[in-house]
A and B are shown apart, each in its own frame.
Chain A
């Protein structure tokens, strides 16, 4: 399991792995928003938590199809499926790697980009906390979507269509935490629910994703 984790991390960090691509996309997206809605700092500050959350979610989406595609093409996914390691664990590791290479950088970058959007101060902390709690769920749901579309030639667009509706609960609670944090309101309830959604996703979706992969490898 560790060996798989290290191998996948190396592959992701090495050139062509798409590492940093999501991050650049996030930066560009956030930079474009003021051009669209105008430069008033008050307006930007008010919509900043939502923009940052949606931006992080879209950046996350960008690298999803890479989770299984490369291993599927060169056949190493078949090897992994017959390895003693259960496929559920393989899926979980893949999602973990995706999270480490996109979720974590996005979480770290979000407060910096928050400055660009004039996010009020305590909001940075809660934005990071909500992203740290929510992005694992985004990666896991994404891994499920990637497993569904792994055999398809043009799966990228379909993947987005399948995954985005599944992101709704995470987005709602995550952005709610960030918004309430920025406004200095009480936020225990959405924070706890967000954590609950993430934990349930992490606990249950590996099984669904592994079942889907088995069908696709048949």
Chain B
């Protein structure tokens, strides 16, 4: 059995990603199509929320990926700092814009849902506020990557920023809870889902969530490949200039 660290070899990673990408991408498409069509066309309206309940199929999965995307970046940053695998640092870089878009989708769908339900586009509710802060963290992280020319320096600095940022993001989450008790309902999904979301909504939601996860994985694979190639290209160009 090959060790997982073999995939830290950029060539091996590109080859593996090439083999995986059609499958992951295709599955993501299928899951998203099935989940969203099922959710949009085939589920009943909620007796309180009316048809706005359909927004859940976008809101919850994107929120899930917003947080887990940051978590994936944290893990990749730690791996880079400990084992110095370039693929890991580049994967964190590749994931950041995708995570930021997921955060943005969660924020926008939340606002659109909140308008008819809470009577306001935006409330300074703990969950909304923490997502806004998370979005700011994504922006800072992406900006720092973009600002530094040397690849290894950028990888080191962004990794440390990611770790410090994670600590402060968690801290902000609790601070914001303390600061304002919110309107937002508790987690839509949990282990005892009996008192959360009814089955009619639950199954299409699960499909949508797996679709978002697969889409995230596919995008990160593709973008990591791109980053690896871009890095190799820069190295070759530098050598060319030297010669």
| A contacts, CB < 8 Å to B | 144, 148-149, 151-152, 155, 158, 161-162, 164-166, 168-169, 172-173, 176, 189-190, 193, 197, 205, 208, 211-212, 215-216, 218
Contacts and interface: CB of A to CB of B under 8 A. Distances in A.
B56 interface: no
Contact of A166 (B147, B165, B179): B165
Interface in B143-189: 143-144, 147-148, 153, 156-157, 160-161, 163-165, 168-169, 171-172, 174-176, 178-179
Contacts, number: 75
A158 B164 contact: no
Closest 4 CB pairs of A and B: A169-B175, A172-B175, A165-B136, A215-B156
A169 B172 contact: yes
B201 interface: no
B175 A165 contact: no
B133 A155 contact: no
B136 A212 contact: no
Contacts of A197: 171
B57 interface: no
B172 A190 contact: no
20 contacts: A148-B144, A148-B160, A149-B144, A161-B140, A165-B133, A165-B137, A165-B165, A165-B168, A168-B168, A168-B172, A169-B168, A172-B172, A172-B175, A190-B178, A193-B175, A205-B164, A208-B160, A212-B157, A212-B160, A216-B153
B33 interface: no
A208 B163 CA distance: 9
Contact of B147 (A144, A158, A205, A208): A158
B236 interface: no
Nearest to B177: A172
A126 to B, nearest CB: 17
Interface in B118-149: 133, 136-137, 139-140, 143-144, 147-148
Contacts of B136: 161, 164-165
B175 A166 contact: no
Contacts of B143: 158, 161-162
B178 to A, nearest CB: 7
A211 to B, nearest CB: 6
A162 B178 contact: no
A110 to B, nearest CB: 21
Contacts of B157: 148, 212, 215-216
Given A215-B153, A218-B153, A162 B171 contact: no
Given A151-B153, A162-B161, A165-B133, 11 more contacts: A149-B144, A152-B148, A158-B140, A161-B140, A168-B133, A168-B172, A169-B171, A173-B175, A205-B164, A216-B153, A216-B157
A124 to B, nearest CB: 22
A173 B164 CA distance: 19
A218 B163 CA distance: 21
Nearest to A144: B164
Contact of B144 (A158, A176, A208, A215): A158
A148 B161 contact: yes
Contacts of A211: 160
B137, B161, B168: residue with the most chain A Cβ atoms closer than 10 Å: B168
Contacts of B153: 151, 215-216, 218
Given A166-B168, A205-B164, A215-B153, A172 B140 contact: no
A193 B178 contact: yes
A168 to B, nearest CB: 4
A205 B171 CA distance: 14
Interface string B215-227: 0000000000000
B103 to A, nearest CB: 13
B136, B137, B139, B175: residue with the most chain A Cβ atoms closer than 10 Å: B175
Contacts of A161: 136, 139-140, 143
Nearest to B81: A211
A216 B158 CA distance: 12
B194 to A, nearest CB: 34
A176 B168 contact: no
